[in-house]
Every structure is written in structure tokens, then in C-alpha cells.
Structure 1
Amino acid sequence: MAGFDRPLRIALFTYSTKPRGSVVHTLELAEALYHLGHDVCVYALDKDGFGFDRLLSVPHHLILSDSVDGDIEQLIHQRIQEFVDACDVQFSQISPYDIYHAQDCISANALAVLRDRGRLPHFVRTVHHIEAFNSPYLQACQERSIQLPNRCLCVSHYWQQELQQRYGIFAPRIINGVNLDRFSSIPNGTEIGLKQALGLTGNPVYLTVGGIEPRKNSLTLLQAFAAVLEHRPQAQLVIAGGATLFDYQAYRDRFFALVADCNIAVGQSLILPGIIADADLPALYRTADAFVFPSLKEGWGLVLLEAIAAGLPVLTANQLPFTEFLSAEQAQLVDPQSPSAIARAMLDMVEPSVRQALVQHSQAVCQQYTWSASAMMHLAHYRSVLSANS
């Protein structure tokens, strides 16, 4: 173990440059490891050639992803192969890293191939959550990405238990964090311009981040918002984000059919700005009055920590993993299957006394979850992997 007390050379792999949860986790972890004195490089698939929407202190190697004429199975197959092809060449030409760490199913499958080819000795994977795929091919990819790593890590007790029960794998839990240098309640002067650009004139303004998709529970949230409008007709719901590998067009069609049935005006009551520039995201939180996130399945819920750091009251599902780090004093915890329960909580949480209490009680959560602490936990497991394979 002592031989690995030196700074480590660490390669982190993520499937995208778009700001999804596991991608944000990768970048924040990379920065935290770098600031602790380690040599870190991020490898990422880059679909549009624009790279990450933020400046990084750490080196990063972008692998341009080609378009795919085919279904999701062909897309996943090609994305894995793009990782393999690019890294197979590079890893044969450079001195090896100490740690190769995949943050998703795609990069984990690629690292398994590269390990079989002798390009790397071992690899680690973080399991953020487990999907339920109907496709045998996608399910097999997921199974391999969990069963083949030399060590799996996870981000919540809930997924730790799921990995133990489903696969017989003990995956140490590593905390997520929130970057308090980026997310705070202190205005930076861009809020007014952002509100004007997005048309945020509502009272109140509810925000959610993650796009329109099944596990974000977008349909049920929309039903709840329709009920809110009956009591607060000036309210607005902002659904930001939405970058994903998967095509949720059928679900989106149902969503917009419900928008029409409820006579909700897109661009007035419902604001859909799409992906928000990384530099604008902290200010976007500050333009809202409340954050609503009744998601059905998450690895953790990084956006909840970001919203709390920005000084917002938050609403989320009364289930794991959210209840691992949020209590009923710190968040509006609701039945995510009940539009009426969500609507009642949305109305309550913008009442001044309720809002103040939620914000006051939730602030301590941000101090418990830092990227520096997460990086230290990762390093302990990295060194354990190195020791076990030395």
C-alpha cells in the first residue's frame, strides 16, 4: 500500500460531453483529484465536436463520435467501439495510468475489451443507477459493465443494496458533492438578462433540470403543474436540460398531448429552454422560486444539491436515494405517483414561512457533501485496487 502513496495517474471515462449527472460527477471528481495533487485525464465521447461546456483544469481527450443510422442498439455498439478504437491506439503509445475509471455502461464495456487486449491491467466502474432495458443487447451490455470491472463503486446505499441483491457484488458507496464555488444564492449580475432571455415573468417560477423523459416523471409533474395553475395562474414551470442517448419521442408526444389537453401555453406557462450553458446554470437556479424534482429513479440527485446551494426550497420523491440525504424538514418529500400530492407540495413550498424553513434546514446538507471528500474516498479505493493487483 505504501508504494502507492505517491500521486496517481488517473484516467476517467465518460460517455458524453453534455451535462448529464454522471458527466458532471466525472468532471467535478477530476478537478477535485487534480487539486489534491494527482495527474488526471478525462476521456469523453464528443458528439458535436464542441467539447465540454466549461473550462477544465485537467487535460481531456475528446473522441469524436460519428452519427449512427440505426436503432439504439447500433448506437451503443458504435459508441463502445469508438472508445475502444481510440484508446487502443493511444494506450499502446503512452505510459500506462495507475487507474482507469469508467463512469457508465458504455465506457465500462470498452475498458473491458481493452483489458482483454492487454492495454490496461484493471479498471473501476461507478454504477450511478441500473436501467431496466427491454432489449437483450442493451441488458447484456449493462450486465457486462457491472460484472466485469475489477471493482464497482456506487453513489448511494440504495444502489449498493441493489448491486448486492441482484449481482452479489459489494460496491463501496462514494458520496457525491456540490461545488459551492459555482452554486450559491449570491447573484452575479446575469440573472436579470437570463430571465429576460427565457421569458421568466412568472409568480412563482418552478424549475426542474433533466429534460422530458420517463424516469424524470415529467408527465406526472406536468399534471401537478396543471393543478397548480388553477390556484396560481401566473406560475411558470421551467424544464431545463434534456441531453440523452435515448429517444423518448413516444413519451414526449404524450407529454405535449397533455400540454394541449390542459391548455398550457408553451413559452408562457411552460418554458422549455433545452440545454443550459454551463456558465448560466448557477444563475438559472437563482431565477427560480422553487426546485421540483419528483424523479422516479436516480443514482443520487446532484441537481437537488445544486438547487439547495443556490438557496431554493426543493421537492423530491419520498423514496431512496433521496431520503438518504434529505429529511422532511429539508425538502418537500412527496409520493411521485400522485399529481395531487405534488401539486399541494408545490403550492405549499412557495408560502414564505414554509419556503424559509425548508431553505434554512437544508443548507447543512451542502457542507456534508463535498467533491474534495468524495475524491479522498475514491483515492482510498484506487489504492486498494492497486494493492490487490500488485
Structure 2
Amino acid sequence: MTAARVVITGKGVITGMGCGMDALISGIEKGKCATRRMPGWERYKGLRSLIGVPVDMPDYRHIPRKIRRSMGRLSLLTLFAADEALSSAGIKSLDFLEGKCGCVVGSTMGGAEALNDTFETMLPDHDLSKLSAMKFFHTVSHTAAMNLAQYLGLRGIVMATSAACASSLQAVGTGFDLIRNRRQSMVLCGGAEELHPTVTGSFDILFASSTNYNDIPEKSPRPFDKDRDGIVCGEGAGILVLEDYEHAVERGANILAEIRGYHTCSSGSHVSQAHRESMIHCMNMALSEADILPSKVDLVSAHATATRHGDEEEAQAIATVFGANTPVQSLKGYIGHTLGASGSIELAVVMDMMKQNMIYPTCNLEVVDNGCDVVFHVRETLHRSVDVVLKNCFAFGGINASLVCTKFKPEI
């Protein structure tokens, strides 16, 4: 049985720029950084980073309460992105895909807000009776995937990838495998993440969060910049509709891009330090599977979270694989690091750049750090053909993921 070709036919997002792709692209085109100082975070003792990129949650009362009661903030964000993705794909109902449409949605830790509320309620008196029956469904690591499947009535394969910042790119890669191996005809893939002080605090404890820009939040994060000082956590969700090429053609879908190669691997060396050799291996394996030479890649969409060590390691790894002439950019200066949602959100923007044949610059990159000045950083909008893109996500725990997308060509 030959492997199926896998195409992307829909995309949807919700970010600190607003709900939907139009809001996100509009903010990026204006060069806007959506980082804000977070009110009330000062009450958390020991929290030094007081900035983030929150989502202004739209009205969700159109979701029937019977379905909504098992959803926390993470799941609601996922539903907004999924609704736009399905609309983008021209799909009003999934009934025609009985058992052949699934979803793979990842996050770093499930519902952070619900998890925090659970412990704040229970621990003062160690009283489990104070917890609501639905709290479990708000907090579990697969809450987004589970609730999306219930919301859409999916009867196909449902999975949740949980690999920190690589979660949603692993979700897309998993969907790619499910379709090309003909296990599913369509898979909704991506990730979601909540902004919460406990999430930012996790990076703060590791000295990986941005702490120098609390009074000028729009200046951080600063990927690859000499004055970068760490991660700014953001929230949001990104969902992509992956589809068997033959199925997409049969229903007359508008094909946005084709996935050609994917690889994920562990560094096996350090739980929190980026590792350039494993990054190099991951990118090379994704390119090999795609049967595409590095010289044919028009853009590297970097992970680049604005940490001191991580950005330098990635820049050096990209230089090893691609040299100094392939454009490299990061989107985190606009919307912060959306962690488990970052891969799918950023891939959605990449597809817009492919369509428009242009590359957005890296926001807040003013002076390239010496250790990162080994690649072609995009500092202003470039207008050129963007036919082949490699997207990176590199997570704590030494988990690497790279995915290769191309413009769709029927004759391949």
C-alpha cells in the first residue's frame, strides 16, 4: 500500500492579537508586539517576570452548556481555533467522515488555571468534597483533544501530544503519519495553551523568563537579539486541517500546502539545555524524508524563544544545515511563546507567507547577538518566492521536532 499524500486544507488560530487569522496577520503586518504587563501578578511571591501575552476571550455562550461544562479555558481556546479551521477548509459537517476523521491536540500541562484552582480549593483543608465533578475534565492533559472530539462528534482517532513547546508540531506530525499510513482521511491537528502565573513561574524558576522588560513589555521577547533575556509566555490555540490529498481533491478543497517531511527526536543529553547536534539531526532527517535539499528551502521558521542559550544553539544548528543565505525568522516577538500551541500557530502564519510570497521580519530584533549572527536574519519584510519551508520546535526535555512544508503542486 503506497503512502498517501498529506495536504493542509484549513487553519484557525486565536492569539493575543485577537480571534482568527485576520487579526493575527494584521497585527504582524503592523509590527505589533502583543506583550502586556499582567495585572495582579505582583501578588505571587518570587515571580520576577510580570509580563505575558493574554487572549481576550470571545463570547462562548453559543456553545451548548451541556458540552461546555467539561471545558476549561484551554478547551474553549481550542474550539475557537477549530471553528475557524473548519470554516477555512469549507467544512460545515463532519458526518460524511464517519470514523475517518480524528484529532490530535497537544498542550504543555493541560488546564493550568483549572489545575491551580483545584489545589487552591482543596489544599487549605485537604477537602476533596469541595471539588466539582467537572474539574477533572478541565485539568487533564488531554482536555483539549477530548473536548474538541466531543464538540464535533468525532469518531476517529483522538490523541493528545504532551511535549512542552514541541506539542503542537508533534501533533501535526502525528496527524501526518495517521493520514499517510491511511489510518484516517482527515485529522484536526494543533495545540493550545493558557497563560497563568504558575506557567510563567515555571520558567522563572529556571531563569528562562524575561524579567528586564516589566515596565516596557512591548520590547520583549527579543529573539536572537543581543539584549534578549528570556521567554514571554503567551496563550492561544492553533488548529490545522490535515487531509488525504485524494480526499481533498474529491471534495473540491482549497489546498493550502503539502506536508513533505517530519522528524522528532530526543537530545538525550540535558533536561533544559538546547543541544545543537540533535537539532541538526532533526532538521536533516525531516529534509531527508521530504527528499528536499537544504539549498531548496526558502525559509526556516525558527523556534527562537529569546533565551540566551537556546537561540544561539538554534542559530548555530541552522547555519550548519543551511549556511548563511537561507532566510530565518521567529514569530515569538509578536505573540510571545505560546508553548504547546506555538508550532501550529506559527505554521498557520508560515502558510500565509507562502501564499503571499513574502517573509515577515522578526519582531524586536534590533541588534543581532554575536553568537546568533551566523544566519540570514529577516529584519524587514522580504518579497520573494516562498515555496519550501522548514518549521522548528525545540522543547525542554531535549525534545526536537522539524517539519517541511511546500506549496502544493498536483504533479508531484
* TM-score, scaled to structure 2: 0.29
Q: Please identify the structure whose Cα radius of gyration is greater.
A: 1
Question: TM-score, normalization: structure 1?
Answer: 0.30
Q: Which has the higher helix share?
A: 1
Work out which structure has the larger RCO, using CA pairs closer than 8 Å and 6 or more positions apart in sequence.
Answer: 2
Pick the structure with more strand per residue: 2
